Structure 1
Amino acid sequence: MTKYSKEEKVAALKAVEAGESIAEIARQSQINDSVLEWIVRNYREHGEKGFHTHAYNWTAERKYEVLKYKQENQLSFRETGIEFGTSDSTIYQWEQRYLKNGMEGLEDKKKGRKPRTPKPKPPKTREEELLDRIQDLEIENEYLKKLNALVAEREKRERGNK
């Protein structure tokens, strides 16, 4: 959902309270009408607290309680979101993850970049070291053969020019 400033939300709410239609206000303020409906419902349910964004750290157990509450009270995602102060899409994602992976799906995923330090490679065995050495020597041998061939070709050309 696109973020709207508190001022934009208050202006839209005042217009709704004045009796204008949500569709008209949504068009004028360039806010999606379903988002505006959510803002109005959230404001009516929670008052000014509904304007604040929530950066809750929801535990898996708390997410499960929210889903259980939704199921027991036969609420929609939107109604449940208003009740708990979060978006309907968040609750939908929780439900999908729960249905797919159970309680494990509700656990927080690790976020952020992976550390830059690569994991240390296990030390090579003696056999692997010897195989690498053989490969290096074979490459060196091929290089020297080609170099020898080029030197011989150049010497042959120089003898022919004299």
Structure 2
Amino acid sequence: MGRKEKFTLEFKYQCVLEVLEASQSERTVSKKYNINQKLVNDWVRIYRYNGLNDLLPKKYTSYDSNFKLKVIQTIEEENLSLFEAGLRFGVPSKKTIIDWQRNYAKFGINGLKSKPRGRPSTMNKSEYKQLKSKKVLTKEEELLLEIECLRCENAYLKKFNALVQEEENKRKNWGASHCRIKA
């Protein structure tokens, strides 16, 4: 499956003009440029409804739950198609509106609330604030902290020495087994 093809504003406008002014059918234009007829159809409808600016590519937009609810209610009250609702409210994808409708039907207004994006933090905010706070430690707390640091350092050095000793033993054993003189 190839990547999604992007079309320039000029190309879209040219296709629209061929349909509207040159009296060519959407099917003829789509065959001429080897693109999906539905695309040409959508571009013509968008141009007729909102003009040239709506043919520009849309940036990612985050919608609040009130806006989503308004779109869903308007679709139901005025019996709009998904395409018409998208044009009226500036929502570029019908799939987005379908998702809103599904979530609203399943979870009500809570289904329309935005979910946090990205990876959750591993440390909660209160713990992070405690670590960052400039709280002055008592003498006892300072000593306990220093003892803990020294214990960690000691354990690290012991492990390091054990690894060095192990390497030396390997070298001695390897050298002794390979350097024997045959009698």
**TM-score interval (norm. to shorter):** 0.5 to 0.7
Of 103, 107, 110, the match for 2:114: 107
Contact 2:30 2:40 (C-alpha < 8 Å) held by counterparts: yes
Q: What amino acid maps onto 2:64 in structure 1?
A: T
What is the letter of the counterpart of residue 22 of structure 1? E
Q: 1:128 to 1:92 in 2, by over 3 A?
A: farther
- 2:42 aligned partner: 38
What residue ranges of structure 1 are gaps of 5+ in the alignment?
115-119
2:9 is the alignment partner of 1:6: yes
Structure 1 residues 129 and 39, CA, compared in 2 at 3 Å: closer, same or farther? Answer: farther
- Distance in 2, matches of 1:156 and 1:49, equals 82
What is the CA–CA distance in structure 2 between the aligned matches of 1:2 and 1:43, rounded to whole Å? Answer: 20
User: Does 2:89 match 1:68?
Assistant: no
1:144 corresponds to: 165
- Give the C-alpha shift of residue 77 in structure 1: 1.8
Deviations 1:62-101 (A, max 9, x none): 1221122123333332221122233223323443454566
Q: Which residue is 1:117 aligned to?
A: none
Q: How does 1:91-106 map to 2 (within 5 A)?
A: 91-98=97-104, 102-103=109-110, 105-106=112-113
SS at match of 1:71: helix
Taking every aligned residue pair, what percent have the same amino acid on both sides? Answer: 20
Q: Compute the TM-score of the two structures, normalised by the length of structure 1.
A: 0.63
Of 89, 92, 95, the residue aligned with 1:89 is: 95
Listed as ranges, the gaps of 5+ residues in structure 2 are: 122-127, 132-144
Range that drifts further, 31-40 or 72-81 = 72-81
Q: What is the identity, as a one-letter code, of the residue corresponding to 2:172?
A: V
2:170, 2:48 → 1: CA distance?
88
Specify whether residues 14 and 160 from structure 1 end up closer, same or farther in structure 2 by C-alpha distance, changes over 3 A only. closer
Rate the CA distance shift 1:145–1:79 in 2: closer, same or farther, 3 A: closer
Which of 29, 47, 51 aligns to 2:51? It is 47
What does the per-residue CA deviation read over 1:9-42, in whole Å, with 9 as the maximum and x for residues that have no partner? 2221222123322111112123321121111111
- Measure how far apart 1:155 and its partner are: 6.2
State TM-score, norm by structure 2: 0.57
Question: 1:142 Cα shift?
Answer: 5.7
1:80 aligns with 2:114: no
1:111-145 per-residue CA deviation (whole Å, 9 max, x = no partner) reads 7xx9xxxxx8x7xx877984785475256336425
What is the SS of the residue equivalent to 1:11?
Answer: helix
Counterparts of 1:104 and 1:77, CA distance in 2:
19
Tell me the distance in 1 between the aligned counterparts of 2:16 and 2:105: 37
Q: How many residues align?
A: 152
